[in-house]
Each structure stands twice: as structure tokens, then as C-alpha cells.
Structure 1
Amino acid sequence: MRIGRALLLTAVTLASAVTLSACDDDGKPNGSAGGNYVTGAAGISTVAKGSRTEAPKLDGETVDGKTLDVTSLKGKVVVLNVWGSWCPPCRNEAKYFATVSKELADGGKDVAFVGINTRDNSKQNAVAFEENFGITYPSLYDPDGKLMLRFPAGTLNPQAIPSTIVLDKEGKIAARTLVAINDEQLRSMIDPVLAEQ
């Protein structure tokens, strides 16, 4: 009897997960995902230009003690990467963010990278992480995850660290992923938004 109950519970859990992540007939997600995201095979979700929503105001103190207001970057494509020094997948993808951010800066592209460091108890850990991986762009310091909560419902999952969001030049959410990515996947999020007129 216990085996049957366990199998039933597993089947219900799997069915619920598929339902929550499935898209409806219009290609729009239903369930708890929210927004107008269409998710590709690599776990990267995009939003058509006419269906995008404004990103929330993201401002505050950076890991290095300066202040930053992301709205000052309007006119550029902005890549937001949510990370924590305690997070193994964040460490795995950090080298790709360091490389791509430098390539785009060297190429004179209108792209700005901003990190959102979350759930680190001290800035020392965050600073050490950035130094170890060669991260040269600023990161907002968000130890309590309050900046993540500013995003519209369904945009970010506070438990999904790392996460990456790409804002278009108007400051609207154009793409996102809730998993660690490599350099090719990162460029596949940025390049189409950068090419928009």
C-alpha cells in the first residue's frame, strides 16, 4: 500500500510540475510562471517586443560601497545577473559573465552588466568572489533579497539562484533564465536584444 501511495504522489508531483511550466495554445505560459514569457529548449525565456513590461527600480549600495541606480543605464541593453558567493552554480557561470562583459565592452557595444549579490552575509565574501572570477562590473548588494522582490510576480523565483535578466534599451524585460548559463547561452540572450531597432 505504501509503494502505491508513493507512486501516486510522485505522479501527481510530476504532473503538477509539467502543468506549471507548460505554455498554452498562444505560446504564453500558464500556471505560476506569469508574464508573457516563451521558454526555449535551453531554459531561456524571451518576451516579444510589444509584450514587455518595465523592469522595477533597482538601486542601492554596491558591493564596493558605491551607489547605483539601474534606471540611469536606459538606452543600453542591461544584463542583470543574480548571484551569491555561496552558490556553486554561480561560481560555475561567473567566468562566462566576466568574459562576455569584457568582450562587449571592448567591442564598444551599448551593453551594461550589473550583478545583484544576494544572501551574502558580508560584503567581504562578495568582493572576494568578484576578484576571484574577474568580475569588473558593479553588483548591487542585496543580502535580504529585497531587490528580487521588486520584480513583477512570476519574473524571478527568489529560490532560483543564479538568475539572469536582460533589459532592452527602454528598460523593459526582454529575456530571462532561472538557471546557470554559459557564454553561448548568455550571448543568445543579449545579441537579439542588442540588434533591435
Structure 2
Amino acid sequence: MPSDRPRLHRPAALTGLVAAGALLLSACAGEDGGTADMGTEFVTTGGGVSTVARGHRADAPKLDGTTLDGKRLDVADFRGEVVVLNVWASTCGPCRLEAEHFAKVSEELRDRGVRFVGINTRDVQKAPAVSFERDYGVTYPSLHDPAGRLLLRFPKGTLNPQTIPSTVVIDREGKVAARALAALDEAGLREMIAPLTTEK
């Protein structure tokens, strides 16, 4: 006897499940770093910056590759300095909002042992990213990572970048100390970096 129940086409069902999963993940990621932060020793400020106390920080992964201007760069070479990593894309609206602040602060802190390094992702062609840096006065180098492979080197459950833009600060010992998962203004960026510059 034929069933009166409507048949659910398998491709439609799978599409629905994938879409629901994507919505769930994006909703979780909006809450101070998402579910990956559960059970860790992170502290998240009212400004949305997550930090880890000294002594509980994870080592930063190896972050190396070719910059937008074709040079080799290894973040490990900056050990002994505070490193500010900014994940960005030329098509990202919030990245445009924060770019001038990063350009200004990077110039002002250059002689105080603070290095800025961008990680440009999603831009398959370099030209739009190079134009972005020129338009916003960004003079520090950016690793070209169109497929996001460098981002996957951060272990889950750590202060890993999860959105565009994301900003991660590495302390002088090469450990991940702070992370922001939203665009930062000048005050927010300075507040994020300042505690790391006073550590000995």
C-alpha cells in the first residue's frame, strides 16, 4: 500500500542540514569566540577582547610564507617582540573601518618593540589586497594566505582567529596572549596591546 507521507528528497534534506549547521556555527562565533572557548582559561573583556594570563598561554603556531610584495616572512623571527597579527580581506567592510587605526598605531609603536603583520585571506589575486594597503596607508607586511591555511594552524580551543577581521597578539615569548574577533578602533587596539608591552 503506498504511503501518504510526503517524500523528502535527499539533496534538499542535506542542503537544509548544511545551511542550519552554518547558521548555528556563525551564531556561536558571535559570542566571544564561540564554542571552542569552552573550558579554557580565557577572560573576555566588555570590549570583546579575550586574553590568557601569562603562564597559561599556548605557543603560537608556525606562521610563515610569502608576503603580498613577494618576500619571505616568518613570524618566529620576531620573537622577543610583541607581534600583532591582523587577519583581513580587501572585500571585508569591517577591515576597511579598522585599517587606518592599525596603520597609525603600527607606525607609532614600531620603535617600542611591537611588530604588526597582516594575514591577507580570501584574496586569490594580490592586486586588490595591494590596492587596499596603499589606500589605507598600511606599511607593515601581510602574508598572502588566500585559502586560510595559516589560520588552520592555530589549534582549536586556543585563541584562534575565527572571523574576518580577527586580531591576535603574540607575546615576547612567542605565545598567544590576546584575541579580538571584531573590528577594532584605535583605543581598542591600544588597550589590547598595552599590557603585553609592559611584560618583561
User: Is the TM value for this pair above 0.5?
Assistant: yes
Give the TM-score band, short-chain normalised.
0.7 to 0.9
Tell me if structure 1 keeps the 8 A contact 2:161–2:179.
Answer: no
> Cα deviation per residue 1:21-68 (whole Å; 9 max; x = unaligned)?
58xxxxxx9943254311010000111001000000000000111010
What code does the residue aligned with 1:80 have? L
Matched, 1:62 2:67: yes
Matched, 1:71 2:76: yes
> Cα deviation per residue 1:156-192 (whole Å; 9 max; x = unaligned)?
354x100000000001001100100101110111110
Give aligned pairs, total. 173
Listed as ranges, the gaps of 5+ residues in structure 2 are 1-23
Q: Tell me the TM-score normalized by structure 2.
A: 0.81
Which residue of structure 2 aligns with residue 102 of structure 1?
Answer: 107
**Change in CA separation of 1:30 and 1:140 when aligned onto 2, cut-off 3 Å:** closer
Q: Tell me the TM-score normalized by structure 1.
A: 0.82
Larger Rg: 2
List 4+ stretches of structure 1 deviating above 6 A.
none
Identity of aligned residues (%): 53
RMSD over equivalenced CA pairs, Å: 2.1
**Change in CA separation of 1:120 and 1:101 when aligned onto 2, cut-off 3 Å:** same
Which residue of structure 1 aligns with residue 150 of structure 2?
Answer: 147
Tell me if structure 2 keeps the 8 A contact 1:21–1:33.
Answer: no
Listed as ranges, the gaps of 5+ residues in structure 1 are 1-12, 23-28
> Cα deviation per residue 1:106-126 (whole Å; 9 max; x = unaligned)?
xx2001000000000210011
Matched, 1:88 2:93: yes
Tell me if structure 2 keeps the 8 A contact 1:166–1:173.
Answer: yes
Matched, 1:32 2:36: yes
Matched, 1:192 2:195: yes
Tell me if structure 1 keeps the 8 A contact 2:87–2:161.
Answer: no
Once the two structures are overlaid, the 10-residue window that deviates more, 33-42 or 112-121, is 33-42
